[in-house]
Amino acid sequence: MIPADANGDWTVKTQEVADRIRTRVLDHVLRHNGGYMSQALSSAEIFAMLYTRVLNLGPSTAPMIPQPFAGVPGPDNPDFFNGGEYNGPKAPEYDRLIFSPAHYALVLYTALIEVGRLTEEGLSQFDQDGSTVEMIGAEHSPGVETTTGSLAQALSQAGGIALARKRRGDAGDVWVMMSDGEFQEGQIWEAIAEAAKFGLDNLKVIVDVNGQQCDGCMDSEAYVDPLTGRIRAFGASAVEVDGHDLEALDAAMRAETGKPHFVMALTNPVQGLPIFEERAPLLHYLRFTSDEERDRYQAVYEEMVN
Amino acid sequence: MEIVKRPHVENFIAWAKDKPEVVVLTADLTNSSEVGKWRDTYPDRFFGMSMAEQNMMGFASGLAREGFVPYIHTFAVFIYRRPYDQLAMSIAYPNLPVKFIAFLPGITTPGGVTHQAIEDVSIMRATPNMTVLETGDATEVESVLDVAHAVDGPVYVRMLRGEVPRLFPKDEPMKLDRARILSDGDDLVVITAGITTEEAMRAAKPLADAGVGMRHLHVSTHKPFDDPAILESIERSRFGAITLENHTIVGGLGSAVAEKMAEAGSGKRLLRLGLRDTYAHGASKAYLMKEYGLDAAALVAGIENLTGMSTGITDEDLAEARVEATHSLAKAEGL
C-alpha cells in the first residue's frame, strides 16, 4: 500500500536520502579501503523510494545500535533475533520488505541510518567479528528478514509470504528488492511463473537493473534488454523506468496491475561518482590500488559533502 | 502379517482434519505421493507447485514464516538432491516448521538411479536443524505425522507408499529417538531401519533355530540419534553389531552407530551392510535387495562373518520364513 501524496515536495527529501546513501557508502569505502560501491550508486534512489515513499512500515522494534550476533536460528536458541524487526512489526496493514541481493547489505544498512532506523555507529560494526552487521547479511542483520545470500531465493520466499498474506486478506504488500544478475538463476523463472499462477498481485518487485555482476558487465544486448519482456511472458507485469528518476519510480511502483508487478529500474552503476567509470567494466567491488587513487576519491568525497 | 494398502492416504486426511495450519505442497507428483484424495478433501490447503522444486522450497519457507506448516510431498530425490541449497538456506537455516514427506527411499523404486534416494539420510543428517525420520511399516506411516508435527523445526521423513506391511502393533506408535526392540539375544545386535527391518525379522526364527542370539533393534529416528539402548545393547553383545540399511553405508545408519561406538570407546566390532558406496539401477525391490545385499540372506552372511558362527541357513529357509505369502515383494510399483 502506498499512501497518497499530500506534499509535492516529497522528492526533495527522498533525493536527499539517496544522496546521503551514496556519500555515506563512499565514506565507508574510503575508511575501510573497500566496499560494494557500485551497488550504492545504482540503487540509492531505489532504497530511498522504498523507505521514504513506498513502504508502509511501522516503527522499528529493534535497537538503534545493533546487538551482537546471538547465534543462528534453532530450537535451542531462544535468543535469536530477526533483522526484519528494523522494518517494524508484522501486521496485516503493513508492507514487508524482502531483501534479495545480500551483497547490497551495506546499502541497506546505510538506508536504515538515513531514515532513522539505525544509528551511524551501527555502521562501524560492519564486517566486524561478532557483529550482526555482516558484509553479506543474513536474517540476523539489520533490515534483513530472510536469508538470501545464495542469490535468487528471495523471490520464492516472498511468494510464499505473499500467498499466505493473500489467503489471510492482509492489506499490506510484499516488496522484494532484487538485482538484475539474479535473473540468470533458473529459480527466478520458476518463482515468476508460480507467483503469476497464484495471482499474487500483492507481490511487488523493484529490480536494480545496473547491468553489473561479479565478473563485470552483463551482456546487455543479449540479456538485459529482453528481460522485461521475458518477465511479462512468464505472466507477471513489468515496466521499465529510469531508476534515478523519482517521479518515474513513483508512478511505476504505485501501479496496480492485478499481477505480480516488477519495476525494472534502469540504473547507472557510477551514478553520482563518475570517477568510478575508469574502473569499468569491473565495478562489483571497489578497493583502491594506490594511495594516489584513494586520494582522488577522497577529494571527490570532500566535494560531495561540502 | 497384515498388508495395508496405501496407509498414508486416509490417515493423513483424518489427521489433518483439525489442523488448519497444515498445508500440502507438491511438485507435479500428487497421486504418486498419495495426496490426490487429500487435495480433493482440502482443496484450499493444497498447492500444486509445478515441476519446480527450488521455488517450492521458497514458497514453503514463506508459508511457514506466516504460520502455516507445509507438508511437502514428493519423491525424496527431488527434496534433498535437486533443490538442496534452497532447502538448506530457505528452510533449514531459519529452522522453519516445514515437513518433508519423502517417497521412494533407497531402492524401493524401479525408477532407477534418478529416482532412488540412496544418500538422503547422510545429507539430511549433516544438515543442521534437520530431524530425520524413517518409516518401517504401516503403523509408523500412520504415526510419523504426530512425531514430525511435534518437532519445532524442519523434519525429513523417509515415507513408504503403496502396499505396506504392518510389522508393529497399531497401538504402539513411533516415538522420537527411541528404537524398537524386536528380538533379543546375547551374540550380536542387528540394527535396521525402514524396509530392512522386515528382512531381519524374516531371519529371526532361522537364526534362533541355528542357535544365534540376535538382539534386533529397529530405528525410526536417524537424527537425533541418542537412544541409549543402541550403545547399551552393543556393549552387552558378545560379537558386536551389524547395521542393515536401504542406503549407502556412508553417512547413514551404519555411520551413526559407528560414531556412537567410537565416541564411547567401544571395543566391539561393527559391520555395515547396505549399498557399498554405489549407485543402483532400475529393477524390482526384491531383485535389488538381493543384488546389493540388503536382504535377509545378506544379513545372515554378515552375521556369519561377524560371529564366526556357521548357521547353515539356506535361501530356502529364509524363503519359507517369509512373513506373508501375499506380500507383493516382487511387484514393481508404478511411478
Q: Beta-strand (E) ranges in chain A?
A: 96-99, 174-179, 203-209, 212-213, 216-217, 237-242, 261-266
The structural domains of chain B, with segments of one domain joined by +, span 3-165, 180-320
Is the pLDDT at B325 greater than 50? The verdict is no
Per residue in A168-217, pLDDT (tens digit) is: 999 999 999 999 999 999 999 999 999 999 999 999 999 999 988 887 77
Percentage with pLDDT > 70 across chain B:
96
CB contact under 8 A, A75 and B65: no
The amino acid sitting at B114 is: T
CB contact under 8 A, A156 and B68: no
- Quote the pLDDT of residue B40: 98
Percentage with pLDDT > 90 across chain B:
94
- Quote the pLDDT of residue A212: 84
Is the pLDDT at B42 greater than 90? The verdict is yes
ipTM for this prediction: 0.94
CATH 3.40.50.920 fits B180-320, yes or no: yes
8 A C-beta contact, residue A105 and residue A48: no
Is the pLDDT at B39 greater than 50? The verdict is yes
- Candidates A99, A134, A156: best to mutate against B (most CBs of B within 10 A) is A156
- Quote the pLDDT of residue A269: 94
Per residue in A123-161, pLDDT (tens digit) is: 999 999 999 999 998 999 999 999 999 999 999 999 999
Per residue in A46-89, pLDDT (tens digit) is: 999 999 999 999 999 999 999 999 999 999 999 999 999 999 99
* Eight-class DSSP state of A7: -
- Quote the pLDDT of residue A5: 55
8 A C-beta contact, residue B93 and residue A147: yes
CATH classification number, B3-165, choose in 3.50.50.60, 3.40.50.300, 3.10.20.30, 3.40.50.970? 3.40.50.970
- Quote the pLDDT of residue A217: 78
Helix axes B53-65, A154-168, angle to 10 degrees: 50
8 A C-beta contact, residue A175 and residue A96: yes
Q: Which residue from A minimizes the CA distance to B93?
A: A73
Strand ordering across the sheet containing B69-75: B46-48, B22-26, B69-75, B99-103, B155-159, B131-134, B221-223
CATH number of this structure's domain A10-305: 3.40.50.970
Residue with the bigger pLDDT between A278 and B319: it is A278
Per residue in B58-101, pLDDT (tens digit) is: 999 999 999 999 999 999 999 999 999 999 999 999 999 999 99
Q: What are phi and psi of A179, to 5 degrees?
A: -115, 155
Q: Which residue from B minimizes the CA distance to A196?
A: B49
- Pairing relation of β-strands A216-217 and A212-213? antiparallel
- Quote the pLDDT of residue B324: 42
- For range A111-122, the mean pLDDT: 96
- Quote the pLDDT of residue B207: 96
**Nearest in space to A151 (alpha carbons), one of A180, A119, A120:** A180
Q: How confident is the model at residue B323 (pLDDT cuts 50, 70, 90)?
A: low
**Residue A73: its chain B contacts at CB < 8 A?**
93-95, 129
**Nearest in space to A273 (alpha carbons), one of A50, A27, A16, A103:** A27
- Pairing relation of β-strands A261-266 and A237-242? parallel
DSSP for A12-57, written as a single string: HHHHHHHHHHHHHHHHHHHHHT-B-HHHHHHHHHHHHHIIIII---
- Quote the pLDDT of residue A226: 85
Count of alpha carbons within 13 angstroms of residue B168, beta-carbon side: 26
**Residue B60: its chain A contacts at CB < 8 A?**
160
With cell 521455488, the residue in question is: B55
Q: What are phi and psi of B43, to 5 degrees?
A: -60, -30
DSSP for B107-176, written as a single string: T--TT-TTT-BSSHHHHHHTSTT-EEEE--SHHHHHHHHHHHHHSSS-EEEEE--SEEE--S-TTS---T
Q: Which residue from B minimizes the CA distance to A90?
A: B66
- Quote the pLDDT of residue A223: 62
Mean pLDDT computed over every residue of chain A: 94
Is the pLDDT at B293 greater than 90? The verdict is yes
Can B3-165 and B180-320 be said to share one CATH topology?
yes
- Pairing relation of β-strands B46-48 and B180-183? unpaired
C-alpha span between B188 and A14 (Å, rounded): 75
CB contact under 8 A, A163 and B62: yes
- Quote the pLDDT of residue A218: 75
Is the full-model pTM beyond 0.90? yes
- Quote the pLDDT of residue A3: 52
**Is A168 an interface residue toward B (CB < 8 Å)?**
yes
C-alpha span between B195 and A211 (Å, rounded): 53
C-alpha span between B165 and A38 (Å, rounded): 62
Exposed, middle or buried, B113 (CB in 10 Å: 0-12/13-18/19+)? exposed
Query: Which of A74, A157, A186 is opposite residue B95, by nearest beta carbon?
Result: A74
Q: Dig out the grid coordinates for B66 from the structure.
A: 506466516
8 A C-beta contact, residue A53 and residue A92: no
Is the pLDDT at B145 greater than 70? The verdict is yes
* Eight-class DSSP state of A286: B
- For range B207-226, the mean pLDDT: 97
- The alpha-carbon gap from A236 to the nearest alpha carbon of chain B, in Å, equals 16
- For range B219-239, the mean pLDDT: 98
- Quote the pLDDT of residue A224: 58
Taking only residues 38 to 77 of chain A, the set having a beta carbon closer than 8 angstroms to any beta carbon of chain B reads 72-75
- The alpha-carbon gap from B191 to the nearest alpha carbon of chain A, in Å, equals 28
